[in-house]
Amino acid sequence: MTDADISALRLSCHSLLPGHRQPSPAESFAAMAQWCETNQIKHDTYGEGALVQQFEQKIADLLGMPAALFCMTGTMTQVTALRLACAERGSQLVALHPSSHILKHERSNFQLLDHFQAVQLGDPFRPWTLADLQSFAEPIAAVQYELPMREIGGQLPGWDELSAIKAHCREKNIHLHMDGARLWEAMSGFGHSLADIARGFDSVYVSFYKGIGGMGGAMLLGSAEFIAKAKVWMHRQGGNMFRRTPYVVAAAMQFEQRLAAMPDYYARTLWLYECLKAYPQLTPNPAAPQSNMLHLYLPVSKEKATEARNAVARDHGIWLFGNAVNTALPDQCMLEWYVGDQLLAMPDAEVVHALDLLVAAIARQTV
């Protein structure tokens, strides 16, 4: 099947398990227009204007950070932050977990654009620890912590472990940067406020198109001096868009609603894990939920899992998951579930029915 065929099949389904409902462009733009009219929104000019500055201040206050800058992409934002940290400390070394988005999904931008040199930190399948960081003999300028860690199922470090890491970085003058692309989802898993989580980090990146459901955009937070330097570097790299208004509006108009729903998404994830106990063929990672996302391991290849997904979609109108990927073991694959509006609104019996269909479809693939 082509990508267009898969998209059409997904759109034909009446029920979708993962993520949030995706409104059509017409629905999105109509809601944005109404919100702009209600709140008398005026365009920004190259990021200057009440809308942008007020949203930046709102997020800075929420995270307890001194300053913030609305940026167009996380890919540009994170390497810029780490580049600045290296320049301030006179070392090119940045420690990254093997699952870091920078290493896995950004086409070696940090290296080819001469931002910094990366060294890998910790076990690929576990959150990294203070002991991992202390094992480096070289002077590390900066280290990144992703909260939660998407590539390993949304895992989080223990709260005491994270607190010890913050203290160590402060003592050793190591810039501690947070990849908070899904920071909003970490609140319930940690049981702490956003400000508590962010406290002790020198810089934080957050995203507005994942859990918040915006059209795009990110934010970098840190000291006023650090953010002023980042603003210059964003301009140098082509990130100084003439209008940020559409992206800020798409995030701001639903920000409180999405944030308020995060505890409900987490509670639904806890419920889902209880359901999964009845399906030994399906193995979740982590073993117990740490945020409102998880990886699910299936006893078939990704090709067979995809065939099973498509069959259920065609025959029952239920979209089970997006992409499956092969794992290190033969005849095994993994898929990701983000527990959002769709699973929250789906009746319990329908979720159980979907799990039954998934297991039955997988069984047919193993005959």
Which string of DSSP letters, residue by residue, matches 218-277? EEEEE-HHHHHHHHHHHHHTT---S--HHHHHHHHTTHHHHHHHHHHHHHHHHHHHHHHT
**Fold for the domain defined by 3-23+257-366:** Aspartate Aminotransferase, domain 1 (3.90.1150)
**Domain boundaries along the sequence of the chain:** 3-23+257-366, 41-253
Q: If you ran DSSP here, which 8-state letter would residue 45 be given?
A: B
With 0-12 / 13-18 / 19 or more C-beta atoms within 10 angstroms meaning exposed / middle / buried, residue 316 is middle
pLDDT, tens digit (0-9, with 9 covering 90-100), for 145-187: 999 999 999 999 999 999 999 999 999 999 999 999 999 999 9
Helix residue ranges per DSSP H, the chain = 3-12, 25-39, 50-63, 74-89, 101-105, 109-112, 130-134, 159-172, 183-190, 194-198, 224-236, 245-252, 255-276, 302-316, 341-345, 348-366
Does residue 331 sit in helix, strand or coil?
A: coil
What pTM did the predictor assign? 0.97
pLDDT of amino acid 1: 84
Low-confidence stretches of the chain (pLDDT beneath 70): none
Residue with tokens 């007020």: 54
Reference 176, options 162, 190, 189, 187; nearest CA is 162
**Fold for the domain defined by 41-253:** Aspartate Aminotransferase; domain 2 (3.40.640)
pLDDT, tens digit (0-9, with 9 covering 90-100), for 298-352: 999 999 999 999 999 999 999 999 999 999 999 999 999 999 999 999 999 999 9
Q: What angle separates helix 255-276 from helix 348-366, to the nearest 10 degrees? A: 50
